[in-house]
Structure 1
Amino acid sequence: MMVSFEGVGLRYGTEAEVLRDLDFTLDKRGFYVLTGPSGAGKTSLLKLLYLAQRPTRGRITMFDQEVTDLPREALPPLRRRIGIVYQDFRLIEHLSAFDNVALPLRIAGMSDADLEQPVREMLAWVGLSDRARAKPPTLSGGEQQRVAIARAVIARPELLIADEPTGNVDAEMAQRLVGLFSGLNQLGTTVVLATHDLSLVKQVPGAQLVRLEGGKLSDPTGALRHPPQRREEAGA
């Protein structure tokens, strides 16, 4: 089990809950496609998954550790086990593609000599070896998205979360990006991909569809499992 949500709800301020009664587990090495209408709460759910937001109620367990009430200083080591691909790329414009991809390794303390090879291998993996020194404003949308993917996975995350990663690219590039995610999943990474494009599900063998609507999850393909009952709840 990679992630477990138990009775999780989320609200902002005094507004009504945007997520309600989320109760599921995500398995290691799973590939989950999260869909639903605009405003359904997909981005809020992803924020809970990459530890940018705490739930209003309920319990979240990740990597065999309960994270709901962890102090802020305990979160960075867990976040380093998660890769995030944003819809709007969030690349640093004054840094080259190479330096954007290298950033997580530098933050982790790796020397320039040690990171040179893995960064170049990652740029080759996403097909951008010849654009290593290019800065984001000179890259196409598809190239920027591939740099963002390379940056998200350079540290070999156990969990990869992608928020509408194909929303700003054409159909051909979308297929290529999903192929990259599928390849990473086959190497052992759990993937959660939020998208409106349900055709992407058919491109990934074993991908499982999860739908979020009105703040609640439905499970049309049987992708999710209910978290195991705790001993105290079972009367043990």
Structure 2
Amino acid sequence: MTRHQSDMTAIVQFENVGLRYGLDSETLSDVSFSLAAGGFYFLTGASGAGKTSLLKLLYLAQRPSRGVIRLFGEDVVTLPRTRLPGFRRRIGVVFQDFRLVPHLSAYDNIALPLRVAGMEEKEIDAPVAEMLSWVGLGDRGQARPATLSGGEQQRVAIARAVIGRPEILVADEPTGNVDADMARRLLTLFEALNRLGTTIVVATHDLPLMSQVTGAQMMRLDKGRLADPTGSLRYPARSRQAE
């Protein structure tokens, strides 16, 4: 892909991005890549390679120490802070530590993005009930996070992240607390969302999981750098015409 073509189709662009926390050495160094709108990407690498830090840059929880990051065609590094909430609403996030609101039920946690977006209450019930059923929690809607197992909390977090059909979904080890059958089911949900046009970025150590998504592409971080210095991605791009 040429640079001109990449600029026309990329939903995410990193150019020579570096990230440093305080006075420590850089956690990420000279990271450059482009993600095509509607692509499915896995981010992998050893523990401590910088995967979570890169995801934080993607979902705008962290600003880089240097370099350029463009989301949806705009430079988000210089973006006024008043515009950041609007960008964040276009990105769904599955956190490794779930970050459910403890005093809200599973139902209300999942409904939260729809309420923030201003959807009327009468329109919320059906999609929330559908998501609860999809993640196998149809009978746990009124349960609060403290009464749910780790795997159940993970499923609520995933349902909350995808219910608004975000333009980008960022997931940090989303299947780490569920069994193999549920991991496959959740991956199927991500694939369905991807077919609707959402760009998916999943950080995982699970190599068998990665092999299950036909046409997915992979980025590998090694000590804060992309393993391929050109930032190119392995595996052929997903063909929409073939689906």
Are residues 1:146 and 2:155 paired? yes
Counterpart of 1:41 in structure 2 is 50
Counterpart of 2:11 in structure 1 is 2
Measured in 1, the distance between the counterparts of 2:186 and 2:82 equals 34
Measured in 2, the distance between the counterparts of 1:176 and 1:120 equals 17
Give TM-score, length-normalised by structure 2: 0.87
* Count of residues paired in the alignment: 225
Alignment check: 8 A CA contact 2:165 2:193 kept: no
Relative distance call for 1:144 and 1:54 in structure 2 (3 A) is: same
Cα deviation per residue 1:121-171 (whole Å; 9 max; x = unaligned)? 222332322222222222233222121111001111010000011222233
Are residues 1:59 and 2:68 paired? yes
Counterpart of 2:78 in structure 1 is 69
| Matched residue type, 2:27 | V
Gaps of 5+ in 2: 1-9, 238-243
Counterpart of 1:230 in structure 2 is none
Counterpart of 2:178 in structure 1 is 169
Cα deviation per residue 1:29-48 (whole Å; 9 max; x = unaligned)? 11111111111111100000
* Superposition pairs of residues 1-236 of structure 1, within 5 angstroms: 1-219=10-228, 221-222=233-234
Give TM-score, length-normalised by structure 1: 0.89
C-alpha displacement of 1:221: 5.0
Gaps of 5+ in 1: 226-236
Relative distance call for 1:40 and 1:31 in structure 2 (3 A) is: same
| Matched residue type, 1:188 | G
C-alpha displacement of 1:224: 10
Once structures 1 and 2 are overlaid, which stretch shifts more, 123-132 or 179-188?
Answer: 123-132
Alignment check: 8 A CA contact 2:95 2:172 kept: yes
What SS does the corresponding residue of 1:130 show, helix, strand or coil?
coil
Measured in 2, the distance between the counterparts of 1:223 and 1:211 equals 12
C-alpha displacement of 1:178: 1.8
What SS does the corresponding residue of 1:129 show, helix, strand or coil?
coil
Measured in 2, the distance between the counterparts of 1:93 and 1:214 equals 35
| Matched residue type, 1:222 | R
Following TM superposition, the consecutive aligned residue runs of length 4 or more in structure 1 with deviations greater than 6 angstroms are: none
CA RMSD in angstroms comes to: 1.8
Once structures 1 and 2 are overlaid, which stretch shifts more, 36-45 or 210-219?
Answer: 210-219
